[in-house]
Structure 1
């Protein structure tokens, strides 16, 4: 992982996006093509298991469990994460909810920092950017380690995109910052 990139609000390359569009976004999910990638990955594992069962020398005691586990995961993982929409982020006036595979966390806009970008660096052509943020009062070894890697203690699911329009991690970060700023501005008393 790399250090955080220029955030959506503090980099010179910030795209100008109509704030009404950003404030109209209420949900981010994994795109459908990820289900195909996940299925293909685990189907490959199942095929490796079958090649162990029917190959020379035959190893059915190892191959069948691998084939069954690969096939089960090829069906279950895409169904839970992408098709079932389990991994998603929902926005509300008071805050947002991050739905992971097995847990859901709710955050208030006043409790979180601005949202910025970090990226995984397996290779230059495969770089994946995702959204990170800090939670006020957040401590612990895992948070400190994540903060060391990305500059922020928490991260949203990698690969989420807006449901209603095309976008990527930059769009997600811009929308979350717009929602956060609107919530903070509404709590600040206006001076005439």
Structure 2
């Protein structure tokens, strides 16, 4: 733990929001590998950019090429992986950017930590909106899709601690948005999430 540090206050989030004419939030995609998280998040990012919102997507694999390249897939490394990305997403959201994160994030406790980080108001004026999006797919469908061949490798023992096969996935019980990706097209999923953001005042520019 760092010592001898002091929080340095600057612009308030309200000031940034008024100047940028946008509200920040984190849209946290969770689900099994091959559920469609990254595909839907990418399509949502493109859609919101076309609507002229500032938005940035943080992808599970991509982040492991840089920020989290020192982490593996052990339970402890998974916890740290999610903690770090939750902190980064919070920074984006605090800057009034819409942060999209697509991570398996298999443990309820870790997703709660991410949510609690956004609710922490000890150094700011108000909590940040955190929207959990559960991209739900039967394991059989995920195995059938298997675009990276990961399920096949996990079943052969080539990949250890693989979520859904040799490691658990704890499904959300109260996600803000629940999408069954085997029944819902990418376009429909994007519209569902966009409508939620609109209905909750997160896409009302300048308000």
Same fold (TM over 0.5): no
TM-score (norm 1): 0.24
Q: Which has the larger radius of gyration?
A: 1
Higher relative contact order (CA 8 A, sep 6+): 2
